Amino acid sequence: MNSTEILITAPLLPSVMDALESAFTTHRLWEQPDRHAFLDSVGPHIRGAATSTYHGRIDDAFLAQLPALEIVASFGVGYDNVDAAAAAARGVVVTNTPGVLDEEVADLTIGLLLATVRQIPQAERFLREGQWLKGAFPLSPTLRGRRIGIVGLGNIGKAVARRLEGFDVAVAYHGRSKQEDVLFDYHPTLVGLTEASDVLIAIVPGGAGTRNLIDAEVLAALGPQGILINVARGSVVDEAALIAALQSGTILSAGLDVYADEPRVPQALLDLPNLVLLPHIGSGSVQTRAAMGQLLVDNLVQWFAEGRPVTSVPETAHLFAG
């Protein structure tokens, strides 16, 4: 342990807690009965913070209570839980965990796609309930001939696209800009991509820039045989519009790993049979979560040893040399 004081906003993996506690003087925010009094007394000494998606938002008001803060290290590649622009304005570096989870999340995305199209969970429930003894499981839709539209062809989107090439299906994408080194068809508008697709896979960042990107208009363009797979963030989809589209048959079905108000999932989604619902497990293997945790620790350790983190988010990359 050294004298550098770190705030941990809520419990992290045991391996991460052990590593942080052996490298720094740590403070556990969630154990404080009076957070304001605690931050008033200890806040001025805190130089680093470790956080994660579900730990509550690190916004400007929160940052204001930590005047000596130099770095916020967040667990997860998506960092919509941190106001990175506010951090940058205060000279605070923000780090995330890119790269170490791409293949894991892409595997899960393909699993969710197949489970949704071929109704794998529904078929398993059918067998377990003894219904096979009374007759065959109904025939499912197919992946054959489907055109897949990827919304956000970033690190994870590309890993999904690589896998889809082995499935002999057409792949196209939408993002804010065309990627010249990519051979998949590019659509400058999301509605354009959707009209040319039978399945949409959302894997963009969350936050204000993508809030309700997939709305009633996009769902109508997907059409009655269309399927939505969302492994991005719940905020990317207008959840009320999605529920209405599923209830009315505007689209065929959906596979969801993420929701607007996790871990709460609307009853209307739970009540719909034509859905596959997962509890935000895209990166959730022992190995990948350990790699994400190690990267969070490495960011803090390297920052305090060398004055530069391993993986800064773009908004704060100008704050340090090299």
151 within 8 A of 213, measured Cβ to Cβ? yes
One of 4, 52, 95, 253 touching ligand 8YV (CB under 6 A): 52
54 touches ligand 8YV (CB under 6 A): yes
Dihedral Cα 213, 63, 312, 73, nearest 10 deg: -100
Q: Which of 36, 87, 94 is nearest to 65 (CA)?
A: 36
Q: In angstroms, rounded to a whole number, what is the distance separating the alpha carbons of residues 272 and 124?
A: 17
User: Using CB under 6 A, which of the segments 41-49, 52-60, 121-129, 135-143 binds ligand 8YV?
Assistant: 52-60
User: Using CB under 6 A, which of the segments 75-83, 168-176, 236-244, 266-274 binds ligand 8YV?
Assistant: 75-83
Query: In this structure, what token pair is assigned to residue 32?
Result: 């404080």
Q: Which of 322, 318, 314 is nearest to 95 (CA)?
A: 314
Binding partner of residue 210 among ligand 8YV, ligand NAP, none, CB cut-off 5 to 8 Å per kind = ligand NAP
Q: What is the residue type of 124? A: E
Q: In angstroms, rounded to a whole number, what is the distance separating the alpha carbons of residues 299 and 94?
A: 9
Binding partner of residue 52 among ligand NAP, ligand 8YV, none, CB cut-off 5 to 8 Å per kind = ligand 8YV
233 as an active site residue: the answer is: yes
Which residue number, 43 or 255, has a Cβ lying nearer to ligand NAP?
255
306 as an active site residue: the answer is: no
77 touches ligand 8YV (CB under 6 A): yes
The catalytic position among 28, 147, 262, 308 is 262
Q: What is the residue type of 96? A: N
Whether omega before 263 lies within 30 degrees of 0, making that bond cis, reads yes
Q: How many C-beta atoms surround the C-beta of residue 33 within 10 A?
A: 6
Q: In angstroms, rounded to a whole number, what is the distance separating the alpha carbons of residues 201 and 112?
A: 10
User: Using CB under 6 A, which of the segments 17-25, 49-57, 180-188, 220-228 binds ligand 8YV?
Assistant: 49-57
118 as an active site residue: the answer is: no
The residues that touch ligand NAP, with contacts defined as CB under 6 A, are 77-78, 98, 101, 105, 152-157, 174-177, 203-206, 209-210, 231-233, 257-258, 280, 282-283
Task: Give contact residues for ligand 8YV (rule: CB under 6 A).
Answer: 52-54, 75-78, 101, 282-283
Q: Which residues are catalytic?
A: 233, 262, 280
